[in-house]
Amino acid sequence: MQYIFSKNQSYEHLAAGHVIYGLSGSPNFPIRLAHEVYNRCLSHQKQQHGVSIYDPCCGTGYLLTTIGLLNHKSIAKIWGSDINVKFTEVAQKNLGLLGTQGLDKREEELVLLATQYQKNSHIRALESLDHIREMIADLDHPIDFQVFHRDILSPITSPGPSFTANIIITDVPYLQLVDWNGAGGINTLLNNIRVNIDTESIIAVVHDKRQKIANEFYERIERFKVGKRVIEIFRLRS
């Protein structure tokens, strides 16, 4: 696969566990690939500014946070949901880093840690935080976000708030990193997210080759592989 939109550059300031919070048991998505997938989706989307994006398996929100930081000029609203409440709590803090208040709070924490433990990793994280501040210094609109608990395989037990997203990007359970909680997998997810999309919405699903997508409501626009990951991009069938 050839990268079209993402440069081969260092994304070290956005590494998980540095400024962006990590959590053991939650896999971290490659940043360059996240940037590429978002921009490929955007290239198929009519709406180029004020975009709303949703991840129904958002985990700690690492994927959404890195996409938000790198693409803040086009994004106005981020929605994230997951079945695991421990993950959504972290996602809430991570998406807060897309604004001054969240960054100020994270800076206070890192200064305290640096003072207490005198570790280089905390000093380097503070440098990364300055870099992130610069990245979003030109943000003329705060990126609004909402994180909520939702079992995406069960629309009845956790329907979630009502909204329509321009772009959905989701990195479903795969590669034995984390398991699906519930039955039906990607095809059920695609059925259940139909309440959150319209005919213009673009949907990217990242999975492994063992999971096959066959959903009558969607037409595939792109499919590519990066290592063991398969990325498929869809829109609703007209």
Ligand X SMILES: C[S@@+](CC[C@H](N)C(=O)[O-])C[C@H]1O[C@@H](n2cnc3c(N)ncnc32)[C@H](O)[C@@H]1O
* Euclidean distance between CA atoms 24 and 33, whole angstroms: 21
Part of the chain binding ligand X (CB under 6 A), chosen from 99-107, 148-156, 194-202, 220-228: 148-156
Q: What is the nearest approach in angstroms of ligand X to the Cβ of residue 117?
A: 26
Q: Which of these, 78, 79, 81, 89, lies nearest to 57 by C-alpha position?
A: 81
User: How many other C-beta atoms are found inside a 10 Å radius of the C-beta of residue 79?
Assistant: 25
Site mask, ligand X, residues 59-78, x = CB under 6 A?
Answer: xx-xx---------------
**Applying CB under 6 A, which of residues 6, 19, 29, 92 lies at the interface with ligand X?**
29
Q: Which of 128, 181, 187, 211 binds ligand X (CB under 6 A)?
A: 181
26 binds ligand X (CB under 6 A): yes
d(CA 146, CA 77): 8
By CB under 6 A, tell whether 203 contacts ligand X: no
173 belongs to the binding site for ligand X (CB under 6 A): yes
Residue 227: φ, ψ to 5°: 60, -125
8 A C-beta contact, residue 91 and residue 67: no
Rounded to whole angstroms, the Cα distance separating 202 from 43 reads 10
Contacting residues toward ligand X, per CB under 6 A: 26-27, 29, 57-60, 62-63, 82-84, 87, 151-153, 171-173, 177-178, 180-182
